[in-house]
Amino acid sequence: MEPTGTGAAVVADWTRLPEDILVTVFCQLEIPSLLRSGAVCASWHAAYRTFRRLRLPSPKQPPCLLYSCDAYGPDAAGLYCPSTGATYRIPVSCGGGGGFRNLTLIGSADGPSSRRCPRCTTSRPPSTRTKAASCTTSMRIHPNTPPVRIPAREAQNCMYDRAVLSCGPRTRAGDAAAACVVLLLHKPMCELSYARPGDERWTWVSPGAGTGLQWRNWYCDAAYNKDDGLFYVVRRDDSVHALDLTGPSPVARKVFHDREWSESLASRFLENVHGLCGIPFRYLVHTPSGELLHVWRFRDSVSSYDLSLDDQDDNDDDDDDDSGDSLQEESSPEDEDDDSCDPPDEELVTEDIQLYMTDFHGQKLEAMDSLDDHAMFIGYNAPLCLPTKDFPGLSPNCVYITDDSLEYINYSRRNNKRDIGVWSIEDQKLQSLGGASPIKDPWLNWPAPIWITPSLL
């Protein structure tokens, strides 16, 4: 490479770097930086295309928050990287003319799982699927609530909980696409279906004979163990099944027994155990060293209505009434139907996160008070546990959370503020997710923000 300029002003011409050196540097970049590097100039773009053509691996990518932002418009997504604090605007092109806000996202630890999988309309036998001609359908959103009637066109937004991949899907022939299995948790009653890239339909994991699973499953979460090639699924009673999907038909065996509420819950939550917010949401997370963690997330329902506004209105009314006479107007049916008479909106707020190590031999859960030098990601995605030494920008002993209350996100509270932040295990407090945008709480309510791991493969 020859310098340009004369005398003391010597400027290197970075556009003339050899392609092999550029490709070597690209292998060390995080994906957002890699994409930007490919747009520097013609020679760098050519090296970027070579990098993509050779399908060279990038370093481990930190999870990023994918969300909808009002400032970015309906046809673009926001991508926030908590390890670097950088925010990116990502154009999203959707078929049929729909924008990013028309998508229904299901997160996973290995990237989006719907690109080469069948449409999510055949996970159950035909008799249980909603007919297209139906105007409404009945659906049980939560196990402790009665079925509700919702428009059929919105049913798919409430049907699919989360997806777990055995590995990242590949698009090039001859790669490990055939080995990729996607396990889907879905309604009704949090059941299981699975598919491989290229399948025409999802295969329902039927309970009963041959699978070892129970009827009325109520599975909360699943985790794939790359060491033994099995999916682990947890139920609302804390029992865990190991699911083998490598053979011609699914086989499951119980590896951790169910527990009584009095044994499972911390005492300060027992009084609300039979309520919607008293039951913790359960996650299964494999640590980098291979241990299986049970993670319990407790949330409380709070009003998002500012009562001080009512007090201010009352004071204003008192000031206007100078005569001391009180006038009472009769209410009309129109007044009763007014939106102002609706009860205040409620939001779910995380109030505690508890960690437990799974003792398969002793069939018990051992409480943990720290993640040490690890960070965890939970929400509307497959949970992750990462060593912070590999991602210096992440906060150790913290849990990065997004809102994953299916009934609040997709149905009854779609317009509410989302439960998003960083939970400090040491301080037992939820901190804001700073740096995602100069605007406070920039994410909209649809699609719900999820953690994804960027990948170019």
CA torsion through residues 431, 436, 438, 440, sign: negative
- The Cβ of residue 135 has, within 10 Å, a number of other Cβ atoms equal to 8
- 50 in a structural domain: yes
Structure confidence at residue 267 (pLDDT):
54
Q: Locate 394 and state its tokens.
A: 């992440």
The token pair that represents 307 in the structure block: 């009562």
Residue 278: predicted pLDDT: 64
- pTM of the shown model: 0.78
pLDDT at residue 256, rounded to an integer: 94
Cα(281)–Cα(232) distance, integer angstroms: 16
Asked if the structure places residue 146 within a domain, the reply is no
Nearest to 226 by CA among 181, 172, 193, 263: 181
Task: Give the 3-state secondary structure of residue 356.
Answer: strand
**Residue 25 within a domain:** yes
What's the order of all strands across the beta sheet hosting 160-165? 160-165, 182-186, 191-195, 203-204
Q: For residue 387, what is the enclosing H or E element?
A: strand 384-387
Range of the domain at 41: 14-59
Is 63 in contact with 401 (CB distance < 8 Å)?
no
Residue 27 is assigned to a structural domain of this protein: yes
Residue 35 domain-assigned? yes
Q: What is the mean pLDDT of each run of 10 residues along the chain (457 residues)?
A: 51 82 89 84 92 83 85 86 84 69 69 48 39 51 60 67 78 53 84 87 81 77 92 91 89 87 58 59 92 91 55 46 36 36 61 92 92 93 90 92 76 68 92 63 75 79
Q: Taking the CA of residue 125 as centre, how many other CA atoms within 13 Å lie in the half-sphere pointing to its CB?
A: 3
22 falls within a domain: yes
Structural domains in the chain (count): 1
Would you state the pLDDT for residue 138?
Answer: 60
State residue 265's pLDDT score.
61
Burial class (CB in 10 A: 0-12, 13-18, 19+), 407: middle
Whole-angstrom Cα distance, residue 264 to residue 275? 16
Q: What angle do CA 135, 138, 140 make, to 5 degrees?
A: 150
Q: Is 295 within the bounds of a domain?
A: no
